[in-house]
Amino acid sequence: MARGFMGKMLWVDLSRKELKEEALDEKVGRDFLGGYGLGARVLFSRQKAGVDPLGPDSILGITTGVLTGTDALGGSRYVMVGKSPLTGGWGDANSGGNVGPNLKFSGYDAVFFTGISDKPVYLYIDNGKAEIRDASNLWGKDSFETQDILREEHGKDLEVACIGPSGEKVALVAAVMNNKGRAAGRSGLGAVMGSKKLKAIAVKGSMKVPVADAQKASEMRKRHLANMGPNVQFMGEFGTSFLFNMCCEVDDAPTKNWGGAAVVDFTSYKDIGAEPVKAEVERGFGCWHCPIGCGGIMKAGTGEYKYAAGAHKPEYETLAMFGSNCLNNNLASIIQANDICNRYGLDTISAGACIAFTIECYENGIITRGDTDGLEMTWGNHKSIIAMTEKLAKREGFGDVIADGVKKAAKKIGKGSEKYAMHIEGQEVPAHDSRGGPHFAIGYGTEPTPARHTQGGEGPLPPGALPEFDHNSLKGRGVPHNIGSNLTNAYNASGVCMIVIGDGYGHWDDFMEALKVITGWDITREELIKTGERIKTMRQAFNVREGLASPWEFPDRMMGIPPKTEGPRAGVTVDKAEHFNEYLEAMDWDINSGKPSKKKLLELGLDDVAKVLWP
């Protein structure tokens, strides 16, 4: 087996309570780099089209990348994979913390779950020995309690990925949680885990990831650390909250359920920006061996919201979705909302979107106090925002209506509420505006996971990764965006953090060197671009086989139909053809269906996929 991999996958049949090991094929490792690349390859081959994502035939995977748990900078990630119950298509969700590396140290590159258990269980792996264990005592516990109970039993070196009560109740906006504040949040995979009655994946181990040259790898890491960009300290201090003020000022942050502009409708945005957030931080938090440590642990809440010490610092996305998007400038309430989501196991992007949707429905008389269990769901009403977030987390009252996301909620409510449901293909839109942000519009509309801000082709890349193009024009963007998106697919699959590598704190050449030194592969940049393209195309092939067609449909509001009348992005309308066609052509995907051409599939070595999509 190639270096960088442990060389083993574990299959867990939850219905039969059977475990089976399988060798990871070396060619699959190099062709897909692990992570969601491996996940898409495996699920396309082993899962039939059309299965119920919440049924026994759906496969849920936890996967690591070739660089996870190695000396590569930022190698902390794991990716949950499965069919998304929100979109009905390909689903993946990436998280940091300590679980990914420790899954490898326990002996496995990936674990795939099939079937449904008849009672709550967890998977326990200790140094290559895996067991399915009873989780009756954990069912109903939040993600903090679950981790604490399991560590009490198995030792402090145990790392846990788990669902909270929201995942148990199969809320489609549920996340898989680890380290009490790191989330594999998107695609609704916490619900898939809950549907399988799988409470947790608990891993420990002391195995080493085999590398081609350990001495060289350790020297390389020291060099790369010394090489890191000048803003590392700044990122460590503020984390992604540093984006908030800036995104409000350029009208990138969602405001009033995407219907307003912060500089017009939410002029108090600085109340919840990076500096006030920092003032509430007790200490820093970093994922495994991270040289940045962008996370933070908050002081206990002493005012109106008495969250316990240990709550995690809200990320930019959380500040925006529970803050500007709800016109809520009460920072303590946002920390509280974040803590509720982390404990109950919810994606903060989707949960915040559900709350903003509820408020807009209420403000427009579509729902009333009679529907909202007496809560006055008005803009900026932080007490009601927190109360409704708790209801969502517990699936209580109106919380049950919104717990499966805004698309399904609008269907249940009717009365024209659909126009306030800000989702793309069932997935709530993350906190960057597609109007006037072509990078995000292209990514939201064409990426195999709809509405994904961490996947586009021009943003999260180090300087020098892309050929030159005119950033003020939509013309000539297709090819560079494709290269960028392919590279993004490659580093996300490989298990490194996009902030460490993708946002330019590290360097692109360092990433390439890490791949070579860890694996011993003589990999070129061209091969890496092609590998990323293969990963992306494999993920898209899953969608095509499920009968989905992209570019994905946007809500009118996200297209700028009608355009905003005020703020920095006033007058902007997204032209679908202009945004998507050139990019789809560069990928050789059909501009009307997103289906990769047969030629492209064969060029990428996906012959079996070509046979299925082009019989």
Instruction: Tell me which residues touch ligand SF4 (CB under 6 A).
Output: 74, 76, 96, 286-287, 290, 292-295, 497, 499-500
The three-class DSSP label of residue 563 is coil
Complex with ligand SF4: residue 322 or 491, whichever CB lies closer: 491
Complex with ligand SF4: residue 47 or 64, whichever CB lies closer: 64
Q: In whole angstroms, give the CA distance from residue 129 to residue 132.
A: 10
Complex with ligand SF4: residue 333 or 494, whichever CB lies closer: 494
Complex with ligand SF4: residue 260 or 295, whichever CB lies closer: 295
Question: Min. distance of Cβ 77 from ligand SF4 in angstroms?
Answer: 8
Question: Min. distance of Cβ 503 from ligand SF4 in angstroms?
Answer: 9
Question: Min. distance of Cβ 445 from ligand SF4 in angstroms?
Answer: 26
Question: Min. distance of Cβ 241 from ligand SF4 in angstroms?
Answer: 12
Question: Min. distance of Cβ 505 from ligand SF4 in angstroms?
Answer: 8
Complex with ligand SF4: residue 287 or 392, whichever CB lies closer: 287
Region of residue 21 (left: phi > 0; alpha: psi -120 to 50; beta: else) = beta
Q: In whole angstroms, give the CA distance from residue 48 to residue 193.
A: 19
Complex with ligand SF4: residue 295 or 532, whichever CB lies closer: 295
Q: In whole angstroms, give the CA distance from residue 38 to residue 59.
A: 13
Q: In whole angstroms, give the CA distance from residue 393 to residue 370.
A: 20
Backbone angles phi, psi at 587, to 5 degrees: -85, -15
Q: In whole angstroms, give the CA distance from residue 499 to residue 451.
A: 19
Q: Tabulate helix, strand, coil % of the chain (nearest 5).
A: 40, 15, 45
Asked whether 307 and 362 are in contact (CB, 8 A), the reply is no
Say if residue 60 is exposed, middle or buried (CB neighbours under 10 Å; 0-12, 13-18, 19+).
buried
Say if residue 271 is exposed, middle or buried (CB neighbours under 10 Å; 0-12, 13-18, 19+).
middle
Question: Min. distance of Cβ 177 from ligand SF4 in angstroms?
Answer: 14
Question: Min. distance of Cβ 98 from ligand SF4 in angstroms?
Answer: 10
Complex with ligand SF4: residue 3 or 77, whichever CB lies closer: 77
Q: In whole angstroms, give the CA distance from residue 252 to residue 71.
A: 35
Complex with ligand SF4: residue 94 or 372, whichever CB lies closer: 94
426: its two tokens: 């069932």
Q: In whole angstroms, give the CA distance from residue 338 to residue 344.
A: 10
Question: Min. distance of Cβ 362 from ligand SF4 in angstroms?
Answer: 35
